[in-house]
Amino acid sequence: MYRFGNAVTMDLYGKSHGPCVGCILGGIPEGLKVDMDKVFAEMDLRKPKGRIGTPRRESDVPEFLSGIEDGTTTGGPICIEIKNGNTDGSKYMAFYDTPRPGHADLPALLKFPDHDLRGSGQFSGRLTAAVVAAGAVAKQFVSGYSIRIAAFTRSVADVTDPEQRDLQSALESRNHQTRACTEELDKRITERIEEAGSQQDSVGGVVECVVEGLPIGFGGIWFDALDAELAAAMFGIPACKGVEFGDGFDLAKMRGSESNDCYHFEDGRIVTTTNHLGGIVGGMSDGAPVVFRTVFKPTPSIARPQHTVNLRTLEDDTVRAEGRHDPCIVPRAVAVVEAMTALTLADQIRRGFR
């Protein structure tokens, strides 16, 4: 099992072509009414869509085996299991000899002699189905504290959404298969992904997440800092290669007089005039929306030939990752980013960082 969290924990298990994937969600208190329609809605958002997602289609119905009775949490561990139905490992056999560049094959084969490469085993994005189910419960827990979370696709390849987006417009992305905020961007991003797929290639992009409702002071400090833990949670998602808060790496080009988010009173409340720092100072919320972006690399498995080594002949070789893959991870990763954000916030609440 792979553990996330301290007070709210998620122990993830399973692999792509085993009987199931699942997790044990711990630390959610007794008495939370869980709206299963909302859980299923989150699961749907993670499912591959049209030609922009993997042809592997799964029903992805989460079974809650413990911890929820009559729609209400008992306070005990919540075991969530999702069956794997549509498995076909035949296209993965070649990777035992010729590991795919960009995927986990090479280190995994050398480190774990009995590594199961079918569907990429435990390194598969398939496990994020369980993450999204757990995150859907955590989202309902944090919404009890008036915290709202919404993510969307900021960019794919060279197509970037140029507008500043608040939580409401991020929610609009739920109507679009690429999770872009507008129809026009959805169309352009769809074209980019389909084009890459038809060229036996893949593309990456950026997911932006907005969190509203955190009171000033929410978050731990130092190694428990809210930004530190959100970043760690994001890096736990397969294919994440970077996280930035607010203006992120662009802060390097600014002066303090530009980057500081100044305070003023509005209707008796302290608010920031700008949000260059993404709503977090000293590891804690400054009351502005928390805004961060996560970059996902282009999907490593691509059908065009790439250089690799042959572990059997000990010679240089090539490999083509045929089989069923997402030509772009970003649209499906949006739901996963939201889920990991909800789990991080739930964990911080239960540790008293509120």
Integer distance in angstroms from the first to the last C-alpha of the chain?
Answer: 29
**118 lies in the site for ligand FMN, by CB under 6 A:** no
Triad 41, 194, 104: Cα angle to 5°: 75
The span of 34-42, 253-261, 306-314, 322-330 binding ligand FMN (CB under 6 A) equals 322-330
Helices and strands (H, E) in the chain, number of each type: 8, 18
DSSP H/E element including 319: strand 315-319
Question: Distance (Å, rounded) from C-alpha 321 to C-alpha 325?
Answer: 9
Segment contacting ligand FMN (CB under 6 A): 71-79, 136-144, 232-240, 255-263? 232-240
Among 58, 229, 247, 326, binds ligand FMN (CB under 6 A): 326
**Which 238-277 positions form the footprint of ligand FMN (CB under 6 A)?**
238-239
Give the binding-site size for ligand FMN (rule: CB under 6 A).
20
Interaction of residue 341 with ligand FMN, rule CB under 6 A? no
Cα radius of gyration (the chain) = 21
Spatial neighbors of 119 by CB under 8 A, at least 6 apart, are 15, 16, 17, 87, 89, 92, 126
Q: Whose structure tokens read 């662009």? A: 250
Alpha helices (runs of H) in 265-329, residue ranges in sequence order = none
CB of 127 to ligand FMN, least distance (A): 9
Contact flag: residue 325 with ligand FMN (CB under 6 A): yes
Whether 284 contacts 352, CB under 8 Å: no
Q: Is 25 in the site for ligand FMN (CB under 6 A)?
A: no
Question: Which residues pair with residue 4 across a beta bridge?
Answer: 10
300 touches ligand FMN (CB under 6 A) = yes
Report the residue from 329, 330, 339, 345 that binds ligand FMN according to the rule CB under 6 A: 329
Cβ 125 to ligand FMN, closest distance in Å?
2
Determine if 333 is a binding residue for ligand FMN (CB under 6 A): yes
Q: List the structure tokens of 165.
A: 């987006």
Q: Is 109 exposed, middle or buried (0-12, 13-18, 19+ CB in 10 A)?
A: middle
Among 150, 336, 343, 345, indicate the residue that binds ligand FMN (CB under 6 A). Answer: 336
- Could you tell me which stretch among 34-42, 69-77, 233-241, 305-313 binds ligand FMN (CB under 6 A)? 233-241
Nearer to ligand FMN, 319 or 329 (CB): 329
Residues 130-189 that bind ligand FMN (CB under 6 A): none
Q: How far is the CB of 103 from ligand FMN (least distance, A)?
A: 5
Q: Tell me: does residue 104 bind ligand FMN (CB under 6 A).
A: yes
Q: Which of 278, 16, 49, 280 is nearest to 123 (CA)?
A: 16
> Pick from 9, 16, 73, 124: which binds ligand FMN (CB under 6 A)?
124
Side chain identity at residue 310, one-letter code? N
| Cα–Cα distance, 135 to 43 (Å, whole number) | 10
Binder among 332, 340, 342, 343 for ligand FMN (CB under 6 A): 332
| 121 belongs to the binding site for ligand FMN (CB under 6 A) | no
Q: Among 15, 17, 103, 179, which residue interacts with ligand FMN (rule: CB under 6 A)?
A: 103
Picking from 89, 122, 90, 87, the residue whose alpha carbon sits closest to that of residue 105 is 122
Residue 301 binding ligand FMN, by CB under 6 A: yes
Q: 327: Cβ–Cβ under 8 A, 6 or more apart, which residues? A: 51, 52, 193, 194, 196, 197, 201, 202, 203, 299
Q: Which is nearer to ligand FMN, 197 or 220 (CB)?
A: 197
Within a 10 A sphere around the Cβ of 271, how many other Cβ atoms?
15
Q: Is 237 in the site for ligand FMN (CB under 6 A)?
A: yes
Q: Give me the residues that bind ligand FMN (CB under 6 A), please.
A: 54, 103-104, 120, 123-125, 128, 237-239, 299-301, 325-326, 329, 332-333, 336
